[in-house]
Chain A
C-alpha cells in the first residue's frame, strides 16, 4: 500500500457499514484508530509500508458495532461517508467518525490480502 506522491492511489476496498451504538450520551462504534498525517508512521504495527500515514484500525471491541459490521483489526480506512481518510490528521479522522448527527457510517477499508483474494477469485 505504498504510494508515490503525486500519483493516484488505487486499492481494493471493502465496504463496511457500521451502525453506531448508543451508550448514554454518546454514539460509539467500538473500535480504535491510529495514525494520521501528524503522527509518526514508523510506529504503526499494522501498516505494510512504514511511511504510510493513513488511518488504521488498532483495536476492535468484542461484540461491538464495528465487529458486527465486519471491520477487522489492521484495516486501513480509506473513506468515511465519502470523506477521504488517507490524508487527514488523527483528530480530523476521529471527528469524522464521531459526528453526533450520524448514526450510520459507511467506510471503505482495505487490508492486506484483499488484492490477492480478488486476483485469485478472478483466476478461478
Chain B
C-alpha cells in the first residue's frame, strides 16, 4: 500500500465525524477543568472546596478517558491502513448484539459503626464527603456529593445514572471516593503534617512539588491490579479524595429489583478518609436493550384465519394490527404472537391452503399445547428481511439474557439540581454544647424529625421551645432547628444528632415499660439492637396521647 508522504500524513490526521465529536468533548472537559481549578483556588469554605475538587476530579478522569480513546482510534487508523484486519474479510453474517440503556439507581452503601460510637455519639463528629464515580466504556458519570457522619447507617445516593449505547458485555465500574470535611492536618499522620508545614514555609511552587512527591510515595500503596479511574490531583492545595471502595458490575448483576453486590474495599484504617464500610452496595441495575423498546421490523403479512395484517416486531412480541395507522394511534393490536427464547421459527414450503410458498411459521408452547402461526410474505425479499430480523432478535435475546424476559422500567432522571447552598450545618453542630433534659431533647427531636415538607413559617408551637432553649445556652440557633433538614443534602441528620432511645438512655433496664411506651422500648428490649438497627427516638411519647395514627401519603 503506497502512500505519498504528504498524503499519508493527511489521512492519519483526517478526522472522522466521531473523532471531531470526541475532540469537542475533550475540549469541553479541558475548559471545565480550568474553571474548576479557578473555582477551587477561590474557595473559602471547605464544602465548596470539596464540590470543586470533585468536579475537578471528574473532569480529569473524563479527559484521561477521552485521550485514551483518541489515542486508541489513531492507532487503529494506522493499523487499519497498513495491515488488513482479519475481521474485515470475515464472514459477512458476524452478528453484533443491539445496544441498550443501563440505569443504576437507588444506590445505598451500608456502614458499620462500632456500637459504642453510634449510640454514645461522643466527641467530635467527624464528617466525610463521599461520591461515586461510575464508568461504562468511555462514559464517566458521577453522583452528587453526600455528607456522611456517624449518625447515618448507610450512604444513600438519590440520583440515578443512565448510560446509553452499552453492549451486553458491558462493565460498569463503580468507585467510591471520600474525603474528610475537616481539615486534614489534625488527623493525618506525621508525613502529611510535615508536608503541609514544608509546603507553607517553602513557598507555593516548591512546597507543591514536595507535597506532590510525598503524596505520590505514600498514596500508591493501595492500588490493586486495575488502576483507579482518577488522575492524581494536581497539588492545588485543596481537599483530597481517596478511593475507598470499588466494584465492577456486569450483565449478570442486572435485575429488575434491588440487589446487593460486594464491594472491594481499597483503603485501610491508616488512610485519612477511611470509613467503616460494611462491604456491600445495594442498588437497582436495570437494562433496556434497544430490541425491547424499538420496533425491529415491520411490514405487511398475511396470517391464516386473520387475513392481511400489519405486523410490528418489537421486544418479545409480534404485534399485528389491521393497518399501519392503528399502530400509530396506539390502539390495541388485533392479536399478538409471543416471540421469546422458546419460540421456534421455520421458513419455507408448508402444505397449506393459501397455496403460496413464501411462508414463515412461528411456534410457541403454551402449557402442553403447541400453537403455530403461519405468516405469508409478499415477496422473497420480504421473507429474507423478516428472517434476518428474527435471527437478529434471537441473537440479541441470547446476548442480553435476563433483560429480554420483560421490559425493565427506566426513568430518565431529571436534570440534577445544582448542589444547594450548604447551610452552616457543621458549625451549628459543634457550637451546641448542651446537656438536654430527657423530655425536652426528646420532644424537640421529634418535632425536628416531624418537620416533613419544608415550612416557610415556623410553626406556632416552636415559640414554646425558643423560650426554653436559650436558658440552655442556645440563643440564636434554636429557631433554625427545623430548617436544617431541608437545606442539608444528607438524609436524617437531626440537629441534635443522637437517635435518642428511652430504654437505653433513661431508666435502668429493670423497670417494666408502661404500655403506651412499650411500643418504643419493646423493639429494643426484645434483643440488643445491632449497631445498624435504629430504635425510634421516644415515639412512645406521642403514642400515649393519640389513637392509632393514620397518615395520607
Question: Looking at the complex, which one of A26, A32, A34 makes contact with B453 (CB distance below 8 Å)?
Answer: A26
In this complex, how many residues of chain B approach chain A with their Cβ under 8 Å: the count is: 32
A102 to B158, CA, bound (A): 8
Q: Say if the beta carbon of B282 comes within 8 Å of chain A.
A: yes
- Given A39-B543, A82-B282, A32 contacting B551 (CB threshold 8 A): yes
Is A32 in contact with B550, judged by CB distance below 8 angstroms? Answer: yes
In the bound assembly, the distance between CA atoms of A87 and B533 in angstroms comes to 9
Give the residue of A17, A33, A87 whose beta carbon is less than 8 angstroms from that of B550.
A33
Given contacts A58-B550, A82-B282, A89-B536, contact A39 B519 (CB under 8 A): yes
Selected contact of B551 from candidates A5, A17, A33, A101, CB within 8 Å? A33
Q: Which residues does A use to contact B, with CB under 8 Å?
A: 5-6, 17, 25-26, 28-29, 31-40, 43-44, 53, 58-59, 81-82, 87, 89-92, 94-95, 97-99, 101-104, 106
Tell me whether A91 and B539 are in contact (CB under 8 A). Answer: yes
Are B543 and A38 touching (Cβ within 8 A)?
yes
CA A99 to CA B105, docked complex, whole Å: 14
Please tell me which one of the listed residues A34, A58, A91 contacts residue B450 in the complex, with CB atoms under 8 A apart. Answer: A91
Q: How far is the CA of A98 from the CA of B108 in the complex (A)?
A: 18
With contacts A6-B527, A25-B453, A32-B551 known, what are 6 further pairs, Cβ within 8 A? A31-B552, A37-B536, A40-B548, A82-B108, A90-B551, A91-B450
- Check if B542 sits within 8 Å of A17, measured CB to CB: no
Which of A82, A89, A94, A101 makes the CB contact (< 8 A) with B539?
A89
B553 CB contact (under 8 Å) in A32, A40, A101: A32
Assembly CA distance A103 to B411 (angstroms): 9
| In the complex, B5 has a CB within 8 A of chain A | no
A87 to B450, CA, bound (A): 18
The answer to the question of B509 belonging to the interface, with a C-beta cut-off of 8 Å to chain A, is no
In this complex, which of B527, B547, B551 has the most chain A Cβ atoms within 10 angstroms of its Cβ? B551
C-alpha spacing A99/B453, complex, angstroms: 10
Q: How far is the CB of B503 from chain A (nearest CB, A)?
A: 13
CB-CB under 8 A from A38, the residues of chain B are: 519-520, 536, 539-540, 542-543
Q: Give the number of A-B contacts (CB < 8 Å).
A: 85
In this complex, the member of A36, A89, A99 whose beta carbon has the largest number of chain B beta carbons within 10 angstroms is A89
* Complex interface: chain B residues within 8 A of A36 (CB): 539, 549
| Chain B positions within 8 Å of A89 at CB level | 536, 539
13 inter-chain pairs at a CB distance below 8 angstroms, sorted by A residue, are A25-B453, A32-B550, A34-B550, A38-B536, A38-B539, A38-B542, A81-B106, A87-B533, A90-B549, A91-B450, A92-B536, A94-B452, A98-B553
B interface residues, Cβ below 8 angstroms from A: 106, 108, 158, 257-258, 282, 284, 409, 411, 449-450, 452-453, 516, 519-520, 523, 526-527, 533, 536, 539-540, 542-543, 547-553
Which residues of A sit under 8 angstroms from B453, Cβ to Cβ? 25-26
Q: Is the CB of B553 within 8 A of A94?
A: yes
C-alpha spacing A104/B160, complex, angstroms: 12
Give the complex CA separation of A92 and B153 in angstroms: 14
Contact B527 A5 (CB under 8 A): yes
Q: Contact: A34 with B548, CB < 8 Å?
A: yes
CB of B491, distance to nearest CB on chain A (Å): 9
Closest partner residue, chain B, to A17 (CB atom)? B409
Complex Cα–Cα for A89 and B314 (A): 45
| Distance A80 CA – B257 CA, assembled complex (angstroms) | 11
What distance in Å separates the Cβ of A24 from its nearest Cβ neighbour in chain B?
A: 11
The answer, among A6, A17, A39, for a CB contact under 8 Å with B549, is A39
Do the beta carbons of A37 and B106 come within 8 Å of each other? no
With a CB–CB cut-off of 8 A, which chain B residues contact A103? Answer: 411
